Amino acid sequence: MARFGKKNKADMSEGTPAASTAVNAAKANTPAAVSVTYLPDVYTLLLGLSAGAMLIAVVLLYLNIAGYGPDPLSGIPKAN
């Protein structure tokens, strides 16, 4: 008998006929590439929202600074 977390090949392939049938059926139906569907959680949504907000903020900041002209610091007198 196999303990929790440890499985022997003898325990899986030999024994009751139902156990060997289940093992053979699992081997026959195993696809070459297993596709796993990933459902994003709320934190992934929040990460996307914050990245979008940062992108919008950068664009608006650029448009604000670009409104001052090609050299926004030209009107400030230099200190001696």
pTM of the model: 0.46
List the domain boundaries for the chain.
Answer: 39-74
Q: Rounded to whole angstroms, how far apart are CA atoms 28 and 21?
A: 11
As a three-state string, the secondary structure of the chain is: CCCCCCCCHHHHHCCCHHHHHHHHHHHHCCCCCCCCCCCCCHHHHHHHHHHHHHHHHHHHHHHHHHCCCCCCCCCCCCCC
The one-digit pLDDT tens for each residue of the chain (80 residues) are 555 555 555 555 555 555 556 556 556 666 667 778 888 899 999 999 999 999 999 999 999 988 888 887 787 888 87
